[in-house]
Amino acid sequence: MALAQVVYGRRLATTRPVPFLQPVHLGEDPADGFLAFEERPTTPRPPACAPWYQGQIVDARQGPELIGYHEPERGLFHFCYNVGTAFTYDHPQRRITALWSPPQTFEDTCTYLTGPILGFVLQIQQRVCLHASTVVMGTSAVAFVGPNGAGKSTLAAALLRRGAEVIAEDVAAIERQAEGFVVHPGPRAIRLWDPSVTALYGRPDALPCISKHWEKRYLPLDTPEQPRPARLTAVYLLEVVPAEAPVSSTQLSPMQAVTKLLPNIYPDWLPLPEARVAILDTLTQLATVVPIRRLSLPNSFCRLDEVCDYVLARHG
């Protein structure tokens, strides 16, 4: 029987089980996509074509963190990370091939896969992904949107301790269905930096590291059964404010909301005009039916319970 797992509403046949993804039985139905993994002794070579996208340069000696290549005539996208991990996405076949070489590991590769790579694949399939963590409180599914370091995962983990269910962390895959906009479940783990782990659990080593090459730690989301898509009832754009500032929120107009959401699509490197048009259309529809608010988040772990109280009072 073929191995298959589900994430972001996609059932993927895979050659190896991906950490934190739930198994799924395909039955007679075809998979929505395919994953293949291969470790190589040397760094995978980039394709011969010219770069299509170049990421930021963190270290001048290593060059861009990520370089993307596009072969439109074949429907292929290649993504080469400077750490020695590479991905090829065959759009016609809906197949992702992941390659890595030591010292990179399978776990390192899966971190890229379940984040920016699958986010990119979903968006060129015209499903919007936001840089957001999503929790369910009672009958409300609420997404907390913001860039790296805004506190999305920390707030989701704090709400988890207060009885909320976390269905997606860091990536919110959104789809319009008959009952409204829904968020599809993501990997069953929350990733946190050491200061957040210390604030929530008392010490940084209270949670295990993702891998020896990643400083973030993870909190498994143990659930008895696969979470279902949740109807999105509110979106909060996190705005970090001084530690002494009050916790408050402000309703945004649909036009303001779309302007604020666009920089938070995930990943934000999507230089495909047709995909961006589809994303803009979906965000415009979303902003007209789902309340989108700006939420002030005091820059102090001591205020986390107060922020949770504020959110739970409105959605718990």
pLDDT at 34 over 50: yes
C-beta of residue 247 within 8 angstroms of C-beta of residue 296: yes
Look up residue 267 and give its two tokens.
């990943």
Domains of the chain in start order, with CATH, are: 4-125 (no CATH), 129-315 (3.40.50.300)
The residue among 71, 73, 70 whose CA lies nearest residue 52 is 70
Q: Which helix (H) or strand (E) holds 111?
A: helix 106-112
Q: What percent of the chain has pLDDT over 70?
A: 99
> What stretch of H or E contains 305?
helix 304-315
Contact status, residue 32 vs residue 12, Cβ threshold 8 Å:
yes
pLDDT digits (tens, 9 = 90+) for 216-274: 999 999 776 778 899 999 999 999 999 999 999 999 999 999 999 999 999 887 657 77
Q: Are 145 and 235 in contact (CB under 8 A)?
A: yes
Report the predicted TM-score, pTM, of the whole model to 2 decimal places: 0.93
CA distance 167 to 164: 10
Measured CA to CA, the distance from residue 234 to residue 216 in angstroms comes to 28
- 8 A C-beta contact, residue 77 and residue 95: no
The residues that bridge with 80 in the sheet, in sequence order, are 67, 86
What is the model's pLDDT at position 224?
63
Distance CA 34, CA 18 (A): 12
Residue with tokens 């001591």: 302
